[in-house]
Structure 1
Amino acid sequence: MNSTNILLKQDTEANLDDRYLVPGLVRGLAILKLFDQHHQEMTISEIAEKLAVNRSSAFRLIHTLEHCGYLRKMSQKTYALNSNVMELGFNSLSKSSLIDIATPIMRELRDQIEIAVHLSILDNTHIVFVSNVQSNGPFTSNIHIGTRWPAHATVIGQLALSQLSEAEVIARYENFNDWQVYSERTPKNLDALLKRLEDVRQQAFMISWGHFNHDMAACAAPIYSQATQQISAILSVSCPLSSYSEAEFSNEVSKNVVAYADKISKFIYK
C-alpha cells in the first residue's frame, strides 16, 4: 500500500466523509512523508513511482511544494525537504518538555506490549527515572519518578554512558568507589566498564534478563535529539521474567522498544 492510500485509509477509519477530502493535498503530504534518512533526495520519477501517479501529476505536486518552501531542488534533478517542513511543528515542539512529548507515546507502547514503560536520564554516575507508565496487567512496577540506579550496573545506564568519550567516562568515575556487583555481567571496575561500553556503542538496544533485578527483565533503547544527534534520554520497559519467554522478549519486545524510542526521537529538538 503506497503512502497516499495509507493516508486515505486513515481518514476513512476516522469516519470522515471522502467527499470532503482534497486528493492533491493528501498526495502532497504523502510526498513529504516519503523523505527519510534513507531517501534524503529523490527524482520526480522516483516520487511518481512511489505514489503510483504519472510523472506529470508528480511534477505539479512537487512544483507546488517547492513554491511553498517545503521542497528544494538539488543537483542531478533531485529534490529534498526544505527548512519550512521543520518549522511546521518546531515552534510548538521546542517549547514542550521531553516528558510532555514522550509520555503519550509511552502509553501507546504500554498498550502494545502490556508491561511497564519508563523514561530515564543520566545524572553523573546514576540514572534517574523521570517518567513512568504502569503496566495494564496485574504487575505493578516499584520504580517511581526520582528512583536512582547505578549507571554502570544497568543496561539503561550503560546505554546513556556509551555516548560519552572514554575521557568523559574516566572523569566521572575517577573518585567512584561503589562498584556494587549484581551479576556476572556487572562491570567490577572502571576498566571493565570501559570495555563494556566499547561493545554497547555497537548496539541499538540492550536487554537485561535478570542481570540487575534478578526476577525482572528489562529492555532499553536510546532517544536522540534531532538538534544534536546525541542521546537525550533512554526509553525502557520492565516486567517479571515470567511475563515473556526470553526469546520473545529479546526479539519481539525489543523491536517495539526501539520503534517507539525512534518515534519519540523524531519530536525531540533540544
Structure 2
Amino acid sequence: MNSINKNASLEQETESTNDDRYLVPGLVRGLAILKLFDQHHQEMTISEIAEKIDVNRSSAFRLIHTLEYCGYLRKMSQKTYALNSQVMELGFNSLSQSSITDLATPLMRELRDKIKIAVHLSILEGTDIVFISNVQSIGSFTSNIHIGTRWPAHATVIGQLILSQLPIAEVKKRYENMSHWQVFSNRTPHNLESLLTRLNEVRGQPFMISWGHFNTDMAACAAPIYNQSNKDITAVLSVSCPISTYTEDKFKDYISNEVIEYANKISKFIYI
C-alpha cells in the first residue's frame, strides 16, 4: 500500500473511531432490546433482557419502560414483555410497498400461536372467495384449506363480509347470471333477494361467525381488513377449527375478539 492510500486508510479509521463518541448508549441498548425478539423469543422477562444485553436489572427496567411508553413493547403479564405493533411502523415506507400476504403472514402466525387454530387470508374474485395465505393450526388437526382454494362467496361469512361493502348494483351485476345457488344450511342465501337481505344485515359488522353453517362440523370466525387509503375491505382474516375445539360461547367471545384485534393490526399497514 502506498503512503497516500495508507494515510487515507488511517484517516478513515480515525474518523470512524472518533464517531463512537457521538453514539447514544441508551438508544443503542434500546434497539438491541427490540432485536432480541424473534420467532423463538416472543416474550421475555426483565431479567432475561437484562442478561442478554449485559446490563443490570434496574437499567433494563428503565429501557423497557421507555420502549413501552413509546409503544414499541407491551406488557403481556406481570413478568413478561413482547413487541407491540408500533414496531412495524418503523419500516412503514418499505412495508407499504409490500404485498398484503407479506404484511399479514407474521401477524397470522402470531395469532395462530396464541389461539392454536388455523388462520387464513382471503379475497373476493367474482362470486368466489379465494384463499391467498394460510397458517396451519398447532396440534393434530390439519386444515384442508390451501392457497388457491375457492368457496362460493354468498355461502360463507368471509364472502358476505366483502360483498356487504359493495354497492347493491355491483352485487346484482356479479350474480345476474347465477343459475345455481349452492345451499349448505338454512342460513345460506338461496337467491339474489335473500343474499341482499343478508348483506344488509351484515354491513358494518366487525366480525361474523359460522358455527357449522358452511361445513357442518367446523367453526369459523372472520373479520375485515381495511385499506387505509379508502377504507374499503381489501381482504378478510379468518380462523377455522372443528366445532369440538372450543365451546360456542368461548369461540364467539374470546376467539372473535382475537380475530378482530389482529385484523385491525394488519389493516394499519395496508395502503395498497
Instruction: Provide the TM-score with structure 1 as the length reference.
Output: 0.71
Contact 1:93–1:269 at 8 Å: present in 2 too?
no
The 5 Å alignment of 1:53-132 reads 89-132=91-134
1:141 to 137, 140, 143: 143
Structure 1 residues 168 and 136: CA distance shift in structure 2, 3 A? same
Per-residue CA deviations over 1:190-239 (Å, capped at 9, x if unaligned) read 11111101111131100000000011000000011112211111000000
Q: Please name the residue that 1:158 is paired with.
A: 160
Structure 1 residues 196 and 32: CA distance shift in structure 2, 3 A? same
Confirm or deny that 1:208 pairs with 2:217: no
Contact 1:162–1:197 at 8 Å: present in 2 too?
yes
- Could you tell me how far apart the structure 2 residues matched to 1:87 and 1:212 are? 37
CA positional deviation for 1:91:
2.1
Report the aligned-residue RMSD.
2.8
Structure 1 residues 145 and 27: CA distance shift in structure 2, 3 A? same
Larger Rg computed on CA atoms: 2
- Could you tell me how far apart the structure 2 residues matched to 1:25 and 1:209 are? 42
- Could you tell me how far apart the structure 2 residues matched to 1:226 and 1:10 are? 32
- Write the letter of the residue equivalent to 2:124: L
CA positional deviation for 1:10:
7.5
Structure 1 residues 143 and 170: CA distance shift in structure 2, 3 A? same
CA positional deviation for 1:176:
1.3
- Could you tell me how far apart the structure 1 residues matched to 2:63 and 2:244 are? 51
Structure 1 residues 27 and 243: CA distance shift in structure 2, 3 A? closer
- Could you tell me how far apart the structure 1 residues matched to 2:178 and 2:142 are? 33
CA positional deviation for 1:178:
2.4
Q: Please name the residue that 1:183 is paired with.
A: 185
Structure 1 residues 18 and 229: CA distance shift in structure 2, 3 A? farther
CA positional deviation for 1:18:
5.6
Structure 1 residues 156 and 87: CA distance shift in structure 2, 3 A? closer
Contact 1:128–1:146 at 8 Å: present in 2 too?
yes
- Write the letter of the residue equivalent to 1:174: E
2:246 to 244, 247, 250: 244
List runs of 5+ in structure 2 lacking aligned partners: 1-32, 35-42, 73-87
CA positional deviation for 1:29:
8.5
List runs of 5+ in structure 1 lacking aligned partners: 1-6, 34-85
- Write the letter of the residue equivalent to 1:147: T
Structure 1, 172-181 or 103-112: larger mean CA deviation? 172-181
Q: Please name the residue that 2:195 is paired with.
A: 193
2:236 to 234, 237, 243: 234
The count of corresponding residues between Structure 1 and Structure 2 is 213
Per-residue CA deviations over 1:100-157 (Å, capped at 9, x if unaligned) read 1111110111111111110000001100000000001110000010000000000000
- Could you tell me how far apart the structure 2 residues matched to 1:28 and 1:252 are? 28
